[in-house]
Chains A and B, each alone.
Chain A
């Protein structure tokens, strides 16, 4: 068992390195073309101030359009549909309308305040009001759709080779995915839930794992239609955490709830007259998924932020002197490449941690103790 685990880990690390190798060159391209161009144009001709913080925040937050790159004053942007329900009507238009008008059909993108970056309506009094419902396909959702489609296509083709090559050795894509599938099944589902019930939850855990893993990995690729840190959006990780919470709550058996409301092996005065421990346990039910949500979100955001910071350094120094900019670029790109390798590792580790904890919560919820 020990040995098998070691082999699995080796294969995974090998895959990660493979992915990363091709990626090292991409980041160089990104650093020099995509962001830098837009930044140079932003800074130099008009002599505006370099706003690194704003640039980074813009990069990692959601947006109504998908900005790919800027060439001079020309911006290449993929328009995305804006879908609003406001004042009893559905309002739909392309996000590209905001390039030509700051205010379109009475709507604009808030520049500050609680709704910063979101679409708001300017009412008669001049106040900015959020529409009742805003289900626009934002950049995050568009990227999520692309990534999900890729995951589904890849895994369906893997499943097809399992059907076609029954009883034969894995081949091609199948052999690339098989170690991961076996890893999730044996090291996560089986070891956390137990032999009796693990098969019921393995499909969900596998889906969750590949969903997170691919969104993490594809977020590192700097080219369209990737490069959007989907899991760096708190709503995305929140939904996945909510799924964990809902499933855990629904499958929880008598023993699980008894452990929460009447924890055995604890002095009675911790439960009566003031139910201190049950209160702590109930809060725990909610903190578990919240921690899941924040951990994945924060990990993804931090990686992208630091890499962006290193790339931005080039331009900060480049503004002081051209030569200094070039000099710093060598160090910056080196660090960025290094961080990208770490990001690839983090992409796997965070997917693993999220799924492992989910499996552990499932296991706790359905655990049947052998003796009370």
Chain B
């Protein structure tokens, strides 16, 4: 029976102690504990969300990167092809130009050579004519040194002319 007989003193002290404990813990312990827990839980959730988002962004970025790479590769190929084309064109043009220039040079050279040849021939003709005349003069002078011979020659010329 002693066990089930609650002491008034125990009830009195227990009420006071329990109230004091409730007050102290309620004021100084639980608010910061519960607040700290809540904040930590929130920050963990936020971090997880952020990580997930970052992962997604990363994935997107990778996808973008791949796309960009493919595009770049294509562009490079196009540029290379075009460059090759341009090179071929330039080389071809240069070749053509060089050929035409060379042929022009050759042509003009031939022309000049022709002209030179003409003038040279003309000069030679003139010189030859002069020499011929001189020689003929000298010959005639030798031939027609005396009067007799002059007469004979005139007669011969006359004869020839009248015969014609």
A residues whose Cβ falls under 8 Å from a Cβ of B: 57, 60-62, 83, 114, 116-118, 133-138, 140-141, 144-145, 148, 151-152, 155-156, 158-160, 162-163, 165-168, 178, 181-182, 185, 199, 202-204, 206-207, 210-211, 233-236, 238-240, 243, 301
Which residues of B11-40 have CB atoms within 8 Å of chain A's CB atoms?
A: 11-15, 17-18, 20-22, 24-26, 28-37, 39-40
Chain B residues in 8 Å Cβ range of A162: 32-33, 35-37
B29–A155 CB distance below 8 A: yes
* Nearest CB of A to B146, in Å: 150
- Interchain CB contact (< 8 A) of A240 among B18, B20, B32: B18
- Interchain CB contact (< 8 A) of B15 among A138, A140, A239: A239
B9–A203 CB distance below 8 A: no
A303 to B19, CA, bound (A): 28
A-B contact count (CB 8 A): 130
A167 to B18, CA, bound (A): 31
Q: Who on chain A is nearest to B21 by CB?
A: A148
Which residues of B34-64 have CB atoms within 8 Å of chain A's CB atoms?
A: 34-37, 39-40, 43
Q: Who on chain B is nearest to A141 by CB?
A: B13
Q: 12 new A-B pairs (CB below 8 Å) besides A116-B2, A134-B7, A166-B40?
A: A141-B9, A148-B17, A148-B20, A152-B25, A156-B25, A156-B29, A202-B34, A211-B21, A234-B4, A234-B6, A235-B10, A301-B3
Chain A residues in 8 Å Cβ range of B6: 233-235, 238
Tell whether B8 is near chain A: CB-to-CB under 8 Å: yes
Tell whether B164 is near chain A: CB-to-CB under 8 Å: no
Chain A residues in 8 Å Cβ range of B12: 135
Tell whether B163 is near chain A: CB-to-CB under 8 Å: no
Most-contacted residue by chain A among B1, B8, B30, B34 (CB, 10 A): B30
A199–B34 CB distance below 8 A: yes
A360 to B20, CA, bound (A): 24
* Nearest CB of B to A144, in Å: 6
A243 to B16, CA, bound (A): 12
A167 to B5, CA, bound (A): 50
A140–B10 CB distance below 8 A: yes
Task: Tell me whether A144 and B7 are in contact in the complex, defined as CB-CB below 8 angstroms, given that A114-B1, A207-B26 are known contacts.
Answer: no
B26–A118 CB distance below 8 A: no
Chain A residues in 8 Å Cβ range of B33: 155, 158-159, 162, 181, 206
Task: Tell me whether A207 and B25 are in contact in the complex, defined as CB-CB below 8 angstroms, given that A235-B11, A239-B14 are known contacts.
Answer: yes
A155 to B29, CA, bound (A): 6
- Interchain CB contact (< 8 A) of A57 among B3, B8, B15, B18: B3
B2–A141 CB distance below 8 A: no
Q: Who on chain B is nearest to A83 by CB?
A: B9
B28–A116 CB distance below 8 A: no
B43–A181 CB distance below 8 A: no
Task: Tell me whether A138 and B3 are in contact in the complex, defined as CB-CB below 8 angstroms, given that A155-B25, A181-B37, A207-B25 are known contacts.
Answer: no
- Interchain CB contact (< 8 A) of B14 among A144, A166, A167, A181: A144
